[in-house]
Every structure is written in C-alpha cells, then in structure tokens.
Structure 1
Amino acid sequence: MKILYGVQGTGNGHTTRARVMAKAFNQRKDIQVDYLFSGREKYKYFDMQVFGDFASYRGLSFETRAGKISQYETLKAAKIRELYRDIKTVRVQDYDLVINDFEPISAWAAKLNRIPSISISHQAAFIHPIPKHTGTLFDRLITRYFAPTDLQLGVHWYHFGHAIMPPFIEADDVKSPPSRTYLVYLPFEEIADVSALLDPFSEHDFVCFHPKIEVDHQIGNISWRRPSKMDFLHVLQSCSGVIANAGFELASECLHFGKKLLIKPLSGQFEQLSNAKTLMQLGLGQSMSTLDTDIVEEWLLKPAIERIEYPQNPDILIDWLLKRDWQAVNSLCDQLWSKVRFPQSVITQLDKLPIISR
C-alpha cells in the first residue's frame, strides 16, 4: 500500500502523533508512506528525520498574540489562492490512501480526486457528542470542513461510548525519580509574561521551552530552552509536574507518565478549551483562564497523579489500514482500548459520566 500522510504543522502535537506512526511505518516492508506538512515554514520544524524528505506547504494556520487567537492576523495571513494552487498541485492520484491529521491540502486534494481518505486526529473526536466547549458556528464548520475526509477516526483520552481511539505515546517508559523541577511549555504566551508568572516561586526550579528562545540560558530559578524533542522528553520524564497550554499530545504524555498538569488553554481556540473541560471533568488536571500566580501556588501544593497506561505501538491500527475493511472501526477501537489501563480514581470519575453507547 502507498500512503500520503498529511499533517497539520501548527504547534507540535500533530507532529508528535505522526512521529509515532512514522516510526512504526518505517519498520514495515508492506507499506510506503510519504509525508506532507503544512502550517509553518519548513525551517521551523525540528527533529524531523523520521519523516524523510517530507513535503512542506504554507497551508492554513491561526495567528496568536499574547496567548489569544487573533482573528484579524489569522485572516490577514491566509493565502487562499496559494492554498487552492497547492491543493491542485499535490498528486494524490499516486496513492492508495490519504491519512490526514487535520491538514487541509492533502484532505481537499483527496476529496477532489476521489482518493480514499481517513482522518486520524484529535479534532475528529469532536464530531461525536463528547464533553467539549460550546464553541461557535465557525468552530463547528472548521471541525467538519477544514480538512474533510471519508472516514473520521478521533483520538481522545477516553472513548465516551464512540468510535474513538486512545492516544499513542511516543516515548519509552523510563522510571525516573521525580525531581523538584517543573516543565513549562507555553509557546503562545509572551516570554515576559511567563517569567512574571514564575518569578515569585523561587523555591522551585522551572525549565521553560519556548519557540522564541534561540540560545539556552538560565535566569534565576528559570532555565530557558530552545525547542528540542530529546531535551524536552528528558525533562518531562523526570519533572514533578507540567504547566502548559491545553494541547492534546503533551497532556496525553503527562497522563501516561503520571505528571500533574496545570493548563492554560489558548483563548478562543475551541480544541484547547474543550481539552481543558474534559481534563477537569475527569479530574486529571487543573486549569487557569489567565496566567494566575495564585492558581500556580495552589497547584504546586497538589500531590502527583496516578498514571494512565496508553499504548505505544500502533501496529494494530496499521494492520487494520492494510486490511482495507475501513468501516470496521468499532472492532479496531475495542482492540486498542483493551491495551489501556486506567487507575481506580479515573474509573470512578468515568462511571459518573453519561455515556452514549456506540
């Protein structure tokens, strides 16, 4: 089978999910995969060796200012003519299947050329009646039509009674004793604002990764780091907790490694606001709508959480793709959820939720 895998390049969560899949694809001789990324300039990606000679396009993305989505800047940055030209340029006819992670160019190219397409994304989970932010009509339209596919396979922390898969965790399990260090990843916030949030807590050490940091350096109790997958993973596995925006993949890793989590969702971003709501409902994290030192102080005193064991090997999914019986999604999801282990505290919270059986 020959597959084109389209990945939304805004942020790092979609890339992290695709990286897990790429490592597994690279071990197979019965499948060939090419990768297409859009959403940022090619030079801004990092640790991309696993994807080989991937294609990169401008695509569509959102622009942020001081932790909020700027609708004006987002519309200003959109290049619709270029987008349409790129959609027409991509030769999806050369592929048996297009896998899509909320990437518009490959999705629309597949749709226009009637090539089978499957969405494997967190956004696809929101087509189901699951816990989520109320949102607007615009949010609902984006969810359904930004990157349309023939089949939507959502990914989430729980299935809520629907054909939704668990997340795959890229990192190997490492038994690192917790340190007094906290990882901070707030890429949509200004560096000065993050510094002001953390400065009062001099008795704690913070390691802050930020896309605007070009040279690693230390200021007081805050270590500022440039983006690095391996460095980030090392800190994540050994830290006592994580302060971050409400992206899906990092939160999934925190749950898998048993790291307590304080999230500040990106204002105006439907997915992150929905993630915050779900984490709070499941008792898996604490949320703040603004960078609030009082909430940070309260959170620092909280104990560690029990870990959730999510699968790391996507071979079950890959075998399912190769069989081409793509309507048999319930059996696929059942197999994958059988690999998940929830602690009793989470099971208790799940039992309180109204579940609509699939």
Structure 2
Amino acid sequence: MKIFYAIQATGNGHISRAIQLYPYLQKFGVVDFFMSGNNASLPVDLPIKYKSQGCSLHYSNCGGLDYWEIVKNIKLLQIFKDAKSLPLKEYDVVINDFDSITSLACKLQKVDSVQFGHQASFVSELTPRPEKKSLLGETIFKHYAPSPKYIGLHFERYDSFILPPIIKNEIVQAVPKDLKHITVYLPSFDKDCLEKAFNTLAEQEFHWFLNDVKFKHRVGNVTYYPVNQNYFNESLITCHGIITGGGFETPAEALYLRKKVLSIPILNHYEQECNAAALKKLGVPVIYEVGKKFELIIENWLNSDTQIPTIQANNIPETLQFLFDTYKDTTVK
C-alpha cells in the first residue's frame, strides 16, 4: 500500500504526531510525507518527499497572531501550482493533517482523503468552544481543509469519531518525577515579554524553551533551552508544572504525566481559544493576558490546589486500523 501523509507545519505538534505515527504506518505500507508551511522548529526525521511554503503563521512580539504578515505571505498562484503537481493518484490512501493544499489537490484530482488530527475534531458541534464563537474561526475549521471523512483527536471523546491524543512513546513509557522546576514553552512570546516576571520569582527554577536559543545555558533562576525534543521531554517528565500556550499536544502530554498546567492561548487564535475552553472544562487554569503582574499569576497558580484531570493515550494500532477502514468506506462508489 502507498500512503500519502500531509503535515501542516504551522507548529511542532503536527510534526511530532507524524514522527510518532511513522513506524506504525510503515506496517501498513510505504509512506511519503508532504510538508506545508515553515513554522516548525523541530528537526523533521521523516521521508519528506514533497514540500511547499503553503500558509505559515506569524506572531506579534507578546502572544498574538500577526494577521497582516500571515496574509501578505500567502502566494495563491504557487499554492494552486503545488496542489496540481502533487501526484495523489499514485497513492492508495491520502491522510491529511489539516493541510489546505492537499485538500485542494484532492478536489482538483478527484481523489478521496481522510482528515486526521486535532483540527478534525472541530467538525463536531459537541467539541468545546469559547463562549463567543468566531465566524471566521468556524469557517476555517469547515472549509480550510475539507475532506469526505474525519477522524479527530482531543482531550476527551466528545463525539463518536474523536479519539484520545497521540502521546509520544517517550512520555508513555516515562516514570514522572517532580524536581520542582517549571517548564515554559510559549513560542508566540519574545524573551523580553516574560523574563522580568520569571526573574522576580528568584526562588523558583524555570526551564524556558525558546526558538532563538542556540545552546543550553543558565542565568540566575532560569535555564534557557533550544527547542529540542530530548531536552523538552526530560524537562517535562521531571517538572512540577508547565506554562504553555493553548495548543493541543503539549498540554495533553503534560496532563498525561499528571503535571500542573497553566495555559496562555495565543491572542486571536481561535483554535487555541477552543482548546482553552476544553482545558477549562477539565479544571485547568487559563489566562488570556500576562499583564504587568505575571509573577503574581504564576505564584497563585503554584500555590493553588487544583485537581489534575486524567488523560488517556491513543491506542495507535487500533486508531490506524480504524483510519484505513474509514478510508476504504469513502472509496466505495
């Protein structure tokens, strides 16, 4: 069987999931990957056969999306050319992790696909949303990468086609410890936005992962790390808690390890606002602005006695069998 797997590289989570799935997918056939976008900072140890600039995210300095930068970097003609050039008819199965180019290619070439991943869960009205829905956000969920079939991943099984998150083997097999440090991963924030707050809490140790850090080094109570999977896994497994965005994979892994989580969703990022709504239902603290007294928020969070919800890990072989069975159903005429 020949398998085409499209990765939207607007963040590390999509790539991390593909890396985890790859050895399991190989048991079903030969896998070729298509990567679209260029936001990811993880090394991609996958057979990337096709690549496109696609649509990438751009951030403001302190926790928000820069929509003007996003729009002005979209090259529609190139996207259309890339979609036409993908040889999808050579493949038996097309798996799409929320990539618009692959979705367009399927439409142009009359090829079926299954949208598989976190964003697929938002096809269901039962998946948590913030109190104020975004018309633009809901439109993106429905029309950015449409597919005949959807298999979603989320914190809980909100609908029949939604399954638990893919948790990395390194996390599933780990023995968690509490070495008292706080892991920080907030890729939409520049260093200057948060450094003062961390330094103010001089007795608390922080492990801070930043895209522009080239090597591990310590200054005062903060150890600065490059975005590196091995460093991050070790820090997360041994932390007391984590301060992170409103993404999906990192909070899921932290909760699976029974770690405290403080979520700060990216401003005006509707998917992260939806994730934040789901986390709040689970009892996880969420804040939407850091403000000038961020250190007080951190202190209150550290001193709070919140119950950590239990998160299941996905049974990957069962999920992939379900995926291939679902794909087979789409091709029955």
Instruction: Calculate the TM-score normalised by the size of structure 2.
Output: 0.91
Q: Tell me the equivalent position of 1:244.
A: 244
Q: Out of 104, 108, 118, which is 2:104 matched to?
A: 108
User: Within 1, Cα distance between the matches of 2:305 and 2:65?
Assistant: 33
Please state whether the residue corresponding to 1:7 is helix, strand or coil: strand
Residue by residue over 1:204-242, the C-alpha shift from the partner in whole angstroms, topping out at 9 and shown as x without a partner, is 110011112123221111111111111100111010100
**Structure 1 residue 326 displacement after superposition:** 5.0
Q: Out of 141, 145, 148, which is 2:146 matched to?
A: 148
Q: 1:322 to 1:140 in 2, by over 3 A?
A: closer
Pick which of 91-100 and 153-162 moved more: 153-162
User: Within 1, Cα distance between the matches of 2:217 and 2:11?
Assistant: 23
Q: Tell me the equivalent position of 1:83.
A: 79
User: Within 1, Cα distance between the matches of 2:299 and 2:201?
Assistant: 8
Q: Out of 148, 155, 158, which is 2:156 matched to?
A: 158
Q: Percent identity?
A: 27
Q: Tell me the equivalent position of 1:207.
A: 207
Q: Tell me the equivalent position of 2:21.
A: 21
**Structure 1 residue 294 displacement after superposition:** 2.1
Q: Is the 8 A contact 1:257 1:307 kept in 2?
A: no
Q: Is the 8 A contact 1:153 1:164 kept in 2?
A: yes
Please state whether the residue corresponding to 1:178 is helix, strand or coil: coil
Q: 1:304 to 1:178 in 2, by over 3 A?
A: farther
Q: Tell me the equivalent position of 1:319.
A: 321
Residue by residue over 1:145-187, the C-alpha shift from the partner in whole angstroms, topping out at 9 and shown as x without a partner, is 1111111111111122442111121133311321111100011
User: Within 1, Cα distance between the matches of 2:17 and 2:228?
Assistant: 16
**Structure 1 residue 304 displacement after superposition:** 7.0
Q: Tell me the equivalent position of 1:167.
A: 165
In structure 2, runs of 5+ residues without a counterpart are none
Residue by residue over 1:273-313, the C-alpha shift from the partner in whole angstroms, topping out at 9 and shown as x without a partner, is 11111111121x11111123221110011347546252354
User: Within 1, Cα distance between the matches of 2:78 and 2:327?
Assistant: 35
**Structure 1 residue 124 displacement after superposition:** 1.4
Q: Tell me the equivalent position of 2:273.
A: 273
Q: Is the 8 A contact 1:4 1:92 kept in 2?
A: yes
1:33 and 2:31 are equivalent in the alignment: yes
Residue by residue over 1:27-86, the C-alpha shift from the partner in whole angstroms, topping out at 9 and shown as x without a partner, is x1x411111111107xx653322x124432100122110211111111111111111111
User: Within 2, Cα distance between the matches of 1:301 and 1:54?
Assistant: 49
User: Within 1, Cα distance between the matches of 2:307 and 2:174?
Assistant: 17
User: Within 2, Cα distance between the matches of 1:9 and 1:202?
Assistant: 36
Q: Is the 8 A contact 1:169 1:312 kept in 2?
A: yes
Q: 1:161 to 1:119 in 2, by over 3 A?
A: closer
Q: Out of 95, 107, 117, which is 1:99 matched to?
A: 95
Q: Is the 8 A contact 2:34 2:48 kept in 1?
A: no
Q: Tell me the equivalent position of 1:223.
A: 223
Q: How many aligned positions are there? A: 322
Q: Tell me the equivalent position of 1:10.
A: 10
Query: 1:65 is matched by which residue type in structure 2?
Result: S
Q: Tell me the equivalent position of 1:131.
A: 128
Q: Tell me the equivalent position of 1:57.
A: 52
Query: 1:164 is matched by which residue type in structure 2?
Result: I
Pick which of 78-87 and 183-192 moved more: 78-87
Q: Is the 8 A contact 1:320 1:326 kept in 2?
A: no
User: Within 2, Cα distance between the matches of 1:91 and 1:185?
Assistant: 37
User: Within 1, Cα distance between the matches of 2:326 and 2:274?
Assistant: 32
Q: Is the 8 A contact 1:259 1:305 kept in 2?
A: no
Q: Tell me the equivalent position of 2:289.
A: 290
1:71 and 2:70 are equivalent in the alignment: no
Q: 1:151 to 1:312 in 2, by over 3 A?
A: closer
**Structure 1 residue 269 displacement after superposition:** 0.3
User: Within 2, Cα distance between the matches of 1:75 and 1:53?
Assistant: 26
Please state whether the residue corresponding to 2:235 is helix, strand or coil: helix
Q: Is the 8 A contact 2:119 2:152 kept in 1?
A: yes
Q: Is the 8 A contact 1:216 1:225 kept in 2?
A: yes
RMSD: 1.9
**Structure 1 residue 144 displacement after superposition:** 1.2
In structure 1, runs of 5+ residues without a counterpart are 329-358
User: Within 1, Cα distance between the matches of 2:327 and 2:93?
Assistant: 13
Q: 1:227 to 1:19 in 2, by over 3 A?
A: same
Q: Is the 8 A contact 1:6 1:107 kept in 2?
A: no
